[in-house]
Homo-oligomer: A and B are copies of this chain.
Amino acid sequence: MGTDSKPTINDVARVANVSKKTVSRVINKSPLLSDKTREKVEAVIKEIGFVPNMQARALALRRNFIIAAIHDNPNAQFLVNVQQGILEGIADTEFGLMVQPVDRNSPTIEADIRAFLERQRPYGVVLLPPISERDSLAELCREFDCRYVRMGSVQLDDAEHVVSSNDREAVRDAVTYLIDKGHTRIALIEGPEGFTSPRERRAGFEEAMERAGLELDESLIRPGSYTFESGVTAAEDLMAKGMNATAIFACNDEMAIGAMIACRRHGLRIPEDVSIVGFDDTPLSSHIWPSLTTVHWPIKQMALSAARKIIDPPGSPSQQDWLLPSTLIERGSVVPPT
């Protein structure tokens, strides 16, 4: 090995005694190519250790071999789960993962994303909730004809561009589980207004109550913002009003844990006095004591599925399944009411 800079497609072509276009066909697995030539070229590629230059391909194809995750979501665990999912989806491919946060409230958000797409020209983007709900971003992706998948809690678009979980059904199951345990007065701590996922989760709550023939008690419903503090506040507010609920369903784990801590601070034992169910299945939910009964939210699988939708050719089976199940995880924070 001398002063060899990386071999190029030209080197392969010369050694294999074919045109560079033929080599190009080989590395792109083009079907219109005789097996004999293909094998010959592949042998040379292996022999001289040729690796196609992504930058050149990117220039010619006008797109990078990169998938971008665009988010405005500050939750670390969520973000990392999504990243892991995408990375799993692109493992053993030549794709890489880029991360691009945006500011939901910025007036220049469209321009910012436009600049990003124009500069990096990702092969595809995964839009994370809640920003995924904005149609303008999907529109932007189409404009740059960049593939995209929106992660969300309901179908926002056609199956090819969406992956979501059945939150409503999962919450219905979870609340029904509480009801089956004997709870009838169940408090609800909601998520932030204006987004799909909290809306769906609330809908699931209502459906469960209705199916069980239980009346919705508005005095047991409190707003929340998916933060630990809002869970504390909501629970404290409930208790200040003389809460007579025997169970609390919080629309995410952080709030559930906040509620748990608040209850305990007020002398209520968990789960003996109050049962609690959360949503998300964050690592923390199994660390605390008692461990939190919660709904597992399949973010990682959703992200994986999103990545596959982007890299698989249109029409692949991966383009079809867009709904992943959220499932109840029974742990230690629920017992029948005493």
**Residue ranges of A at the interface with B (Cβ–Cβ < 8 Å):** 6, 51, 53-56, 58-59, 62, 64-66, 68, 76-77, 79-81, 83-84, 87, 94, 96-101, 115-116, 118-121, 228-229, 258, 261, 265, 283-284, 287-289
A114 to B: closest C-beta gap in Å: 10
Q: Cα distance A121–B94 when bound, in Å?
A: 12
| Additional pairs, 6, CB under 8 Å, beyond known A51-B119, A56-B59, A76-B77 | A53-B59, A55-B121, A76-B81, A96-B100, A99-B99, A261-B289
By the criterion CB–CB under 8 Å, are B62 and A55 in contact?
yes
Inter-chain contact A119/B101, CB cutoff 8 Å: no
User: Would you call the interface of chain A mostly helix, strand, loop, or mixed?
Assistant: helix
The count of identical subunits is: 2
Q: How far is the CA of A74 from the CA of B77 in the complex (A)?
A: 10
Nearest Cβ on chain B to A181's Cβ, whole angstroms:
25
Nearest residue, chain B, Cβ from A54:
B119
Q: Pick 9 A–B contacts, CB within 8 A, sort by A.
A: A51-B115, A51-B118, A58-B58, A59-B59, A77-B77, A84-B101, A87-B99, A98-B99, A229-B287
Nearest neighbor of A116 in chain B, beta-carbon distance? B96
Residues on B with beta carbons closer than 8 Å to the beta carbon of A80: 76, 79-80
In the complex, what residue of chain B is closest to A69 when comparing beta carbons?
B99
| Alpha-carbon gap, A121 to B66, bound state (A) | 12
- In the bound complex, residues from chain B placing their C-beta under 8 Å from that of A68 are 96
**Contacting residues, chain B, for A54 (C-beta < 8 A):** 119-121
Query: What residues on B are CB-neighbors of A229 within 8 Å?
Result: 287
Assess whether B97 is in contact with A99, with CB atoms less than 8 Å apart. Answer: yes
Measured between beta carbons, the chain B residues less than 8 angstroms from A265 are 289
What distance in Å separates the Cβ of A89 from its nearest Cβ neighbour in chain B? Answer: 13
Please report the C-alpha to C-alpha distance between residue A77 and residue B62 in the assembled complex, in whole angstroms: 35
The 8 closest A-B pairs by CB, nearest first: A76-B80, A55-B58, A55-B59, A76-B76, A76-B77, A228-B287, A59-B59, A96-B120
CB of A135 to closest CB in B, whole Å: 22
CB distance from A233 to the nearest CB of B (A): 13
In the bound complex, CA of A262 to CA of B172 (Å): 34
In the complex, A97 Cα to B55 Cα: how many Å? 16
Q: Determine the distance from Cα of A229 to Cα of B283 in the docked complex, in whole angstroms.
A: 12
Question: If the complex has contacts A51-B118, A80-B76, are A98 and B58 also in contact, measured as CB distance less than 8 A?
Answer: no
- Taking CB atoms, residues of chain B closer than 8 Å to A66 are 98, 120
Chain B nearest CB from A80 CB (Å) reads: 4
**What CA separation (Å) do A258 and B289 show in the bound complex?**
10
Closest to A59 in B: B55
Q: Which residues of B contact A120 (CB under 8 A)?
A: 54, 66, 96
What is the CA–CA distance of A96 and B121 in the complex, to the nearest angstrom? Answer: 11
A302 to chain B, nearest CB (A): 17
Tell me which residues across on chain B come within 8 A of A289, comparing CB atoms. Answer: 261, 265
Which B residue's beta carbon lies closest to that of A94? B119
Q: Complex Cα distance A118/B56, Å?
A: 13
